[in-house]
Amino acid sequence: MTNYLEVRDLSKRFGDFTALGNVSLDVAEGEFVCFLGPSGCGKTTLLRAIAGLDPQTSGTIRQKGRDVSGLPPAQRDFGIVFQSYALFPNLTVADNVGYGLVSRRQARGAIAKRVEELLAMVGLPDSGPKYPAQLSGGQQQRVALARALATSPGLLLLDEPLSALDARVRLRLRHEIKALQRRLGVTTIMVTHDQEEALTMADRIVVMNHGAIEQVGSPQEIYRRPATAFVADFVGSMNFLGGTLETPERVKIGGLTFACPAQDGLAVGTKVRLSIRPEDVRVRDLPADVANRVPVEVAELDFVGAFCRAGLKVRTDGDVALVADFSSNLIRDLGVEIGSRLDVALPPDRVRVYAA
């Protein structure tokens, strides 16, 4: 795979505030990349810099080998979809979709045909003569997508495209956009603050915080092996237990010690945080010699639907608490209720350690 987009040392400052600090990133051709992070992390700033809408303070951007760093948006090659749809309200759906085609001096018949094609592609074949206000939010966003794709851009930029929609529509559009992107093979960057959206849609996720990239990786990597405590905390739920690194493979927390994957980066004796996801806490069929066995008492039990989220207090050390997800089956089989005493295990291969 060749790099379609190369971002190098991109910085954006507003006075004293650094919105982006020396960000570098490569995007391969045909890839679907998500910028994920909390609001204010710089993800939209990065997207707008790539589009040339709000140029960076310093740094370079190369698109398909061409240096576009200083070019105005009109001289770059991209289509863009905004959270607000930004459909022209006074033009029909067909005129909106054909907006970029008209100025390319194509024959009227050819434009009409292309518009028809695009509307069929996004599943709105008969909506051409309608005005945007007559469509639902989800339909409007599809029109915006068709308009962005009309000129067959090499790069599709999506700025929180689903955030304004209600949950059900959002779920459906997620799949439609992903399927469309795969079919057209257009390199796509989407900005989102919704981790689920990023995990389900992206080929690769770029997690950002405070104007810097925290981690770049596939959804599985991001979820299974978060590179930093921030990523671990931001994507999915995570237990954090504060302790000290006793040996490279053991962490001491209160009166307990836990086995963990070997830590080469951290010196023995440093303060660390040991982390594990609630669904990785094991309860059933623990072998006698299981590693990281902890005797706990169920302090809280929140019904979430498909499973229960249990608040557990370590019996030997009341200060240490953790959260575990128990399936409905497990709760029924073991008769778990508030006050139940049981043993759980934290599988060492599921445990990760971060500097505190």
Select 160 or 280, whichever has its Cβ closest to other proteins.
Answer: 160
Out of 107, 133, 304, 306, the only residue in the binding site for other proteins (CB under 8 A) is 133
Residue by residue, DSSP assigns 125-141 as TT-TTS-GGGS-HHHHH
Least separation in angstroms between residue 156's CB and other proteins is: 10
In what helix (H) or strand (E) does residue 159 lie, and over which residues does it extend? strand 155-159
Select 9 or 300, whichever has its Cβ closest to other proteins.
Answer: 9
Burial state string for 136-165 with b = 16 or more CB within 10 A and e = fewer than 16: eebbbbbbbbbbbbbeebebbbbbbbbebb
Question: Is residue 59 at the binding interface for other proteins, with CB under 8 A as the rule?
Answer: yes
Select 216 or 323, whichever has its Cβ closest to other proteins.
Answer: 216
Enumerate the H helices of the chain as residue ranges: 43-51, 93-97, 99-102, 108-121, 137-149, 167-184, 195-201, 219-224, 229-234, 328-334
- Determine contact, residues 307/326, Cβ cutoff 8 Å: yes
Out of 40, 58, 196, 269, the only residue in the binding site for other proteins (CB under 8 A) is 58
Plot region of 47 (φ>0 → left; ψ -120 to 50 → alpha; else → beta): alpha
Select 166 or 349, whichever has its Cβ closest to other proteins.
Answer: 166
Out of 115, 119, 150, 245, the only residue in the binding site for other proteins (CB under 8 A) is 150
Where do the DSSP E strands lie in 210-338?
Answer: 212-217, 239-247, 250-253, 256-259, 271-276, 293-303, 307-314, 321-327
Please list every residue from 293 through 352 that binds other proteins, using CB under 8 A: none
Q: What is the number of other CB atoms lying within 10 angstroms of the CB of residue 213?
A: 23
Residue by residue, DSSP assigns 4-19 as EEEEEEEEEEETTEEE
Out of 56, 63, 139, 239, the only residue in the binding site for other proteins (CB under 8 A) is 56
Select 31 or 197, whichever has its Cβ closest to other proteins.
Answer: 31
Stretch of 129-137, 172-180, 262-270, 273-281 lying at the interface with other proteins (CB under 8 A): 129-137
Out of 2, 103, 262, 304, the only residue in the binding site for other proteins (CB under 8 A) is 103
Question: Is residue 51 at the binding interface for other proteins, with CB under 8 A as the rule?
Answer: yes
Please list every residue from 62 through 91 that binds other proteins, using CB under 8 A: 69-76, 78-80, 82, 84, 86, 88-91
Alpha-carbon distance values, 15 to 9, 18, 19, 24, 57 (Å): 18, 8, 10, 22, 11
Main-chain dihedrals φ then ψ at residue 17, nearest 5 degrees: -85, 130
Plot region of 298 (φ>0 → left; ψ -120 to 50 → alpha; else → beta): beta
Please list every residue from 160 through 189 that binds other proteins, using CB under 8 A: none
Tell me which amino acid residue 270 is: T
Please list every residue from 10 through 39 that binds other proteins, using CB under 8 A: 11, 24-26
Question: Is residue 253 at the binding interface for other proteins, with CB under 8 A as the rule?
Answer: no
Select 132 or 278, whichever has its Cβ closest to other proteins.
Answer: 132
- Determine contact, residues 207/219, Cβ cutoff 8 Å: no
Least separation in angstroms between residue 37's CB and other proteins is: 17
Select 152 or 328, whichever has its Cβ closest to other proteins.
Answer: 152
Out of 30, 153, 154, 348, the only residue in the binding site for other proteins (CB under 8 A) is 153
- Determine contact, residues 192/211, Cβ cutoff 8 Å: no
The Cα 70–Cα 134 span in angstroms is 39
Least separation in angstroms between residue 347's CB and other proteins is: 29
Least separation in angstroms between residue 200's CB and other proteins is: 22
- Determine contact, residues 279/323, Cβ cutoff 8 Å: no
Question: Is residue 223 at the binding interface for other proteins, with CB under 8 A as the rule?
Answer: no
| Number of shown-chain residues binding other proteins (CB under 8 A) | 48
Select 58 or 270, whichever has its Cβ closest to other proteins.
Answer: 58
Question: Which residues are near other proteins by CB under 8 A?
Answer: 8-9, 11, 24-26, 51-53, 55-60, 69-76, 78-80, 82, 84, 86, 88-91, 99-100, 102-104, 131-134, 147-148, 150-151, 153, 216
